[in-house]
């Protein structure tokens, strides 16, 4: 908290805006957009490594959040004030930092994949900047940020090595799918037990159910796509944009629209993220593959 107070003393309106935009780079919509572009239009295997690292580390972070249940800095110290614009994105508990985990997974995957030294430096700098932005904005302590980064970087390194380099999904798809389903069920059950015992409110536990639903969608969607679709990457930029733009818009409509239709309960959040990920990984590729065959 002392470090956060020191940063708060040096806040300015310009820096508030700058770091708010930096922190957006670690939010789920940024990860979704980049993941979809890579998956549908660039490199399916790299996208799978990114998706697995993002959701495996995300599930682990959510279990740690509910396990420790450490309040946000302004709850720990009511005299401390976070930057107002950052409050809407600060959901759930404080430890570890979900934004730092997201940034570590996204830009960590790109860091491992990059061949140029300048690119590696850029991705590492983005991870550090996003982590620092969470502290500057007053949403997380250094312990939150460091734990989120380390968790993500370990998961990302393992996923990139085994999924992208060793291509473990080629020969062990069923085993990996079952393993991810088990993780998803555990995370969902853990959230249900914690809320059922009134150790946490449903609102503070929502991210746990979202993560469990999304990873369950990844397990099923990835399995079905590899088994029954196996789509190809388009060659021209026009074809890529025609695939990327409608798919991203429809995916976001699922994510936002279902919220209005079925609500924001833990069960509804689980279903919403499961359906969205399943759509993006399997249903949409199935549709554009069949459409291209008709043409």
At 255, the pLDDT band (50, 70, 90 cuts) reads: confident
CA distance 190 to 292: 43
Global pTM reads 0.93
pLDDT in tens, 124-176: 999 999 999 999 999 999 999 999 999 999 999 999 999 999 999 998 999 99
Compute the Cα dihedral for 118, 119, 121, 125 and give only its sign: positive
pLDDT in tens, 103-138: 999 999 999 999 999 999 999 999 999 999 999 999
Q: Contact, 138 vs 8, CB < 8 A?
A: yes
Residue 34 dihedral angles phi and psi, to the nearest 5°:
-70, -40
Question: Which pLDDT score, from 0 to 100, does residue 146 have?
Answer: 96
Structure tokens at 119: 């690119």
Question: Which pLDDT score, from 0 to 100, does residue 261 have?
Answer: 87
Mean pLDDT of 5-20: 92
* Predicted confidence (pLDDT) at residue 293 exceeds the cutoff of 70: no
Structure tokens at 255: 């994510």
**Alpha-carbon distances, residue 86 vs 13, 20, 32, 73, 128 (angstroms):** 13, 7, 20, 13, 18
Q: How many CB atoms lie within 10 A of CB 14?
A: 8
* Predicted confidence (pLDDT) at residue 27 exceeds the cutoff of 70: yes
Mean pLDDT of 48-59: 96
**Alpha-carbon distances, residue 93 vs 64, 140, 206, 287 (angstroms):** 9, 10, 10, 39
Question: Which pLDDT score, from 0 to 100, does residue 99 have?
Answer: 92
- Which one, of 221, 194, 220, 219, lies nearest residue 207 by Cα? 194
At 295, the pLDDT band (50, 70, 90 cuts) reads: low
Range of the domain at 152: 2-294
Instruction: Please count the structural domains in the chain.
Output: 1
pLDDT in tens, 180-199: 999 999 999 999 999 999 99
Q: Contact, 83 vs 198, CB < 8 A?
A: no
Compute the Cα dihedral for 87, 92, 98, 100 and give only its sign: positive
| Average pLDDT, rounded, for the chain | 93
At 43, the pLDDT band (50, 70, 90 cuts) reads: very high
Structure tokens at 167: 């291509």
Query: Percent of the chain at pLDDT above 70?
Result: 99
Region of residue 90 (phi > 0: left; psi between -120 and 50: alpha; otherwise: beta): beta
DSSP labels, 7-67: HHHT--HHHHHHHHHHHHTTSHHHHHHHHHHIIIII-HHHHHHHHHHHHHHHHHHHHHHHH
């Amino acid at each position: 908290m002392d470090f956060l107070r020191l940063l708060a003393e040096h806040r300015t309106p310009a820096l508030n805006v700058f770091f708010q935009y930096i922190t957006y780079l670690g939010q789920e919509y940024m990860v979704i957009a980049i993941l979809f572009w890579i998956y549908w239009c660039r490199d399916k295997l790299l996208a799978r490594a990114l998706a697995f690292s993002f959701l495996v580390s995300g599930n682990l972070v959510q279990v740690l959040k509910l396990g420790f249940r450490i309040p946000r800095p302004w709850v720990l110290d009511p005299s401390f004030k976070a930057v107002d614009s950052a409050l809407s994105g600060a959901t759930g508990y404080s430890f570890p930092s979900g934004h730092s985990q997201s940034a570590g997974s996204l830009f960590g995957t790109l860091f491992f994949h990059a061949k140029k030294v300048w690119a590696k430096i850029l991705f590492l700098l983005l991870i550090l900047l996003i982590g620092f932005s969470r502290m500057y904005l007053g949403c997380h302590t250094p312990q939150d940020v460091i734990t989120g980064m380390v968790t993500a970087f370990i998961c990302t390194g393992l996923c990139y090595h085994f999924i992208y380099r060793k291509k473990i999904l080629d020969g062990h798809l069923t085993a990996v799918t079952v393993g991810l389903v088990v993780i998803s069920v555990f995370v969902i059950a853990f959230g249900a037990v914690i809320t059922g015992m009134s150790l946490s409110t449903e609102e503070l536990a929502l991210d746990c159910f979202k993560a469990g639903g999304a990873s369950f969608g990844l397990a099923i969607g990835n399995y079905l796509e590899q088994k029954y679709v196996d789509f190809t990457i388009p060659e021209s930029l026009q074809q890529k944009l025609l695939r990327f733009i409608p798919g991203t818009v429809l995916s976001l409509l699922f994510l936002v629209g279902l919220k209005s239709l079925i609500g924001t309960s833990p069960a509804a959040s689980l279903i919403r993220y499961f359906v969205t990920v399943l759509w993006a990984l399997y249903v949409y590729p199935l549709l554009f593959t069949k459409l291209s065959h008709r043409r």
